[in-house]
Structure 1
Amino acid sequence: MTRYAEVIGDPIAQSKSPAIHGYWLGQLGIDAHYDSCLVKPDDLAAYLHERAEDADWLGCNVTMPHKQAVIPLLDRLDPLAEKIGAVNTIVREQDGRLTGYNTDAPGFLEPLRADLAQPHLFRMARVLGTGGAARAIVAGLAGEGVTVVLAGRSVAKARSILEELAPEGQHHVAPLAHFADATDFEFDDREGCFDLVVNASPLGMTGQPPLEFDLTHVPPGSIVYDIVTAPLDTPLLQRAREQGFRTIDGLAMLIGQAAVAFEKFFGQAPPRADKDDALRRILSQ
């Protein structure tokens, strides 16, 4: 039998993970494959029990709605996954035990690493959304010394996330609607500061309501980052570029988190010397 990994979820047909991992496996000539597997919530426990008995199964990526449901079914949790409270990667260890990881946080941070390696007088991020992705993003940013303003439809939920994931920082919450209308707020001198705006919600995604966000809330020199992948070039990113802001799209996080998982599954770092240009062309078709 050939070694394999896969991605599970319900639904799963839309996942780009097989294309990402399949491309890297082909480039490296690794004798393994990566598939997708539809797993209904009621079948999750049986699926993991069966796969844990399969020595050729290296593990799986986990997408909605299983990222939290898998936790009590695993043998071990990586500390970051335990802190975030969500698992998106499961690895079958040599002893057959299953370990849960969260690669969303390092995947999100990857395109920001050069910026975060620089010293700053102050670091602030406005994060929109309070779902599972937002939890990973908040944990990742807080670990880099970034003060977070977390905005959601429910201010209470946003506050609860910050108290749980970043209790020691001077973070803030705001209603999502606060950012919909223009502001005449005059930002202070941003020299030496790191400013980031992140759409960590599904708003703006195909089939979802638009993201109502006025760019007057974006400090000068900010990076605008939208994790939505369909469409890849969201209205938020388009408007931000028109006003001269640097932008990062959702494929950056998607490919970044996949790279961490790939190495855990297959024991090699994926080939990325071209800065993912060829892979991006494949995923954008």
Structure 2
Amino acid sequence: MTRRVCVIGWPVAHSRSPLIHNHWIAEYGVEDAEYVRLAVEPEGAGDKILNLASLGFIGANVTVPHKEVAFAALGRHDAVARRLKAVNTVVTLADGSLEGRNTDGYGFIANLKDRAPSWRADAGPAVILGAGGAARAIAAALEDEGAPEIRIVNRTAGRAEALIADLGLKSAKVFPLAQTAMALEGAGLLVNTTTLGMKGESEVSFDLSPLPKSALVTDIVYTPLETGLLRRAREAGHEVVDGLGMLLHQAVPGFEAWFGVRPEVTEELRQLVLADIAGK
């Protein structure tokens, strides 16, 4: 019987998860396996996720806008999903029950370690631009990795404060946009988790000079691969990491759970996805 896995979202046609997972299925010779897209409207999404087996699937990835819905629908979660109250990976356990997991933070950290091997989370405070879902996953992962302080820069202070309280971050501060320069002082990492810099969006425009030259700069946006923020940071002498690797690395734990093989994120896979992006 074919082991089928899907990515659930609305819309979902843009998802590159099938490209990634089907590449690994072929590369590792996983027999009787298939990964497809499943467009699921918001209404009734929770029921669709609960009924994956009856739809013919052994697991799923979950993308926007269903990550919180998946968390609410599922009765079992790993510790990360429980903390974030969001699910991006659904796995069928040995007893047939479904468990919701979240690998977004794992993918972020794995990307930094892959592309900037000398980076250390404990090198200094981490500055996060934005306070949305991605910021939540990244803030939690950075604290777990040993960042001494998390600094959230966001237009709305209340949302950033809610993120800190909800995650129970032990050492975190909120900075309004007007105090971005203050947030950058002494930092070891700058992360953009907003859509600024994405194709068709305005750029991150604040002055980077208060940021220590030793600080790593990264962006979760990967279209374009080098955002304006990364270009300016690179030109100023900072080590930079693009956002594509986060997408690739977050897929690793799910593939291993579904098919029993731990795949590698290779340059071949990066180029495959970049070619797909260029062709769109």
**What TM-score do the two structures reach when normalised by structure 1?**
0.88
Q: Which residue of 2 aligns with 1:240?
A: 233
Change (3 A) 1:157 1:133: same
Instruction: List per-residue Cα deviations over 1:66-99 (Å, max 9, x = no partner).
Output: 0101112112011111101111111122322110
Please give the secondary structure, in 1, of the residue aligned with 2:137. Answer: helix
Please give the secondary structure, in 2, of the residue aligned with 1:281. Answer: helix
How far did 1:259 drift? 1.1
Decide whether the 8 Å contact of 1:62 with 1:89 is kept in 2. yes
Q: Which residue of 2 aligns with 1:173?
A: 174
Instruction: List per-residue Cα deviations over 1:132-184 (Å, max 9, x = no partner).
Output: 01000000011122111101111111112112214422x211123543xxx59
Segments of structure 2 that go 5 or more residues without pairing to the other structure are: 276-280
Letter aligned with residue 83 of structure 1: R
The equivalences for 1:55-204 within 5 A come to 57-113=57-113, 114-115=117-118, 122-146=123-147, 147-169=149-171, 171-179=172-180, 195-204=188-197
- Which of 248, 253, 272 in structure 2 is aligned with 1:282? 272
How far did 1:187 drift? 5.3
Change (3 A) 1:119 1:23: closer
Please give the secondary structure, in 1, of the residue aligned with 2:226. Answer: coil
How far did 1:119 drift? 9.0
Letter aligned with residue 168 of structure 1: K
- Which of 252, 260, 264 in structure 2 is aligned with 1:271? 264
How far did 1:216 drift? 1.6
Greater Cα offset, 221-230 or 260-269: 260-269
Q: Which residue of 2 aligns with 1:3?
A: 3
Query: Is the aligned partner of 1:220 residue 2:230?
Result: no
Q: Which residue of 2 aligns with 1:191?
A: none
Q: Which residue of 1 aligns with 2:223?
A: 230
Change (3 A) 1:175 1:62: same
Decide whether the 8 Å contact of 1:28 with 1:271 is kept in 2. no
Decide whether the 8 Å contact of 2:185 with 2:210 is kept in 1. no
Q: Partners in 2 of 1:76 and 1:186 — Cα distance?
A: 39
Greater Cα offset, 37-46 or 206-215: 206-215
Change (3 A) 1:81 1:202: same
Letter aligned with residue 96 of structure 2: G
Decide whether the 8 Å contact of 1:57 with 1:92 is kept in 2. no
Decide whether the 8 Å contact of 1:142 with 1:166 is kept in 2. no
How far did 1:281 drift? 0.9
**What TM-score do the two structures reach when normalised by structure 2?**
0.89
Change (3 A) 1:119 1:79: closer
| Identity percentage of aligned residues | 39
Decide whether the 8 Å contact of 1:104 with 1:137 is kept in 2. yes
Q: Partners in 1 of 2:168 and 2:51 — Cα distance?
A: 37
Segments of structure 1 that go 5 or more residues without pairing to the other structure are: 189-193
Query: Is the aligned partner of 1:208 residue 2:201?
Result: yes
Q: Partners in 1 of 2:235 and 2:178 — Cα distance?
A: 23
Change (3 A) 1:196 1:50: same
How far did 1:254 drift? 0.7
Change (3 A) 1:119 1:140: closer
Q: Which residue of 1 aligns with 2:52?
A: 51
How many pairs align? Answer: 270
Decide whether the 8 Å contact of 2:216 with 2:240 is kept in 1. yes
Change (3 A) 1:247 1:18: same
